[in-house]
A and B are shown apart, each in its own frame.
Chain A
Amino acid sequence: LAKTTQPISMDSYEGQEVNITCSHNNIATNDYITWYQQFPSQGPRFIIQGYKTKVTNEVASLFIPADRKSSTLSLPRVSLSDTAVYYCLVGGREAGNNRKLIWGLGTSLAVNP
C-alpha cells in the first residue's frame, strides 16, 4: 500500500504560484502519481498524472524527481477559485487492477485576495 504525506493546509494570495509537495517513500515501480482537486459539496476532479520527470497540462505542472519518492504539484498564478482540497495519490494503472489507493487528508489550499 502506497501511503502519501502532504501538508494539511496552505495559504496563498491571488496571482502567486503555489507548490504542494507530496511524499511517497514506498512508491512501487509500476505506480503512477495522480493529483485530484475537490471543492466543497463536489466529488474530486482529476488534475494531473505522471510517472517521472515533469508533466504539464493547461491547469498545472507536476514535478517528479529521479527517485520518485516525492512529487510537487505546481499551480501557476492561483485565483480565488483555486481554493480547494488537493489530494496526492500513488498507484498502478493496469486494467482491472486492484489499485489499493489510499486517500489521505489532502492539502487544504486557501487563496486570499
Chain B
Amino acid sequence: EAGVAQSPRYKIIEKRQSVAFWCNPISGHATLYWYQQILGQGPKLLIQFQNNGVVDDSQLPKDRFSAERLKGVDSTLKIQPAKLEDSAVYLCASSRDRGSEYFGPGTRLTVL
C-alpha cells in the first residue's frame, strides 16, 4: 500500500511570511496527526484528527498555526506568520483506529 505523502519536502521562507504543508494519509486511515520535530528532539504532537474532527490540538500555537482536514482525507497545516523558532521538520502520520502510526517523510522548514 502507498505510504503517507507530504509536500513540499523542503521549504525556505523569511520570518513573518506564510507557509502551508500538505499531507495525504494512507487510504482508509481515519486518524491523522501533525508533528513538529526540532533538530535533536523527538516529535511533538501539534494536532490529531479523527476523520475530519479535531481530537487534540492542545499543543498547537493557535495564534499562528492552523490545520484542517476537509472531507476526512487530506490535510493542510499552515503557519502565518512564521517565526525563526518554527524552523523544524513537520511530520504527518496516519493510523487506523487501533493501529500504530505511519509517518510520512516530513517537510523541512527553514525560517530565515
Residue ranges of A at the interface with B (Cβ–Cβ < 8 Å): 34, 41-46, 49, 87, 93-101, 103-106
Q: Quick check: A104 and B105 within 8 Å, CB to CB?
A: no
Contacts of B97 in A (CB 8 A): 95-96
Of the candidates B41, B56, B91, B102, the one whose C-beta lies within 8 Å of that of A46 is B102
CB 8 Å contact bits of B13-44 with A (1 = contact, 0 = none): 00000000000000000110001000011111
Q: Which of B77-112 contact A (CB under 8 A)?
A: 91, 93, 97-98, 100-106, 108
> Which 3 pairs between the two chains have the least Cβ-Cβ distance?
A43-B103, A103-B42, A95-B97
Flag if B98 contacts A87 (CB, 8 Å). no
Q: Which residues of A contact B45 (CB under 8 A)?
A: 101, 103
A29 to B24, CA, bound (A): 33
Q: Are A104 and B42 in contact (CB under 8 A)?
A: yes
Please measure, in the bound complex, the distance between the C-alpha atom of A100 and the C-alpha atom of B105, giving whole angstroms.
22
The 14 sampled A-B contact pairs (Cβ below 8 Å) are A34-B100, A41-B108, A42-B105, A42-B106, A43-B93, A44-B91, A46-B101, A46-B102, A93-B98, A94-B98, A96-B30, A98-B55, A100-B56, A105-B40
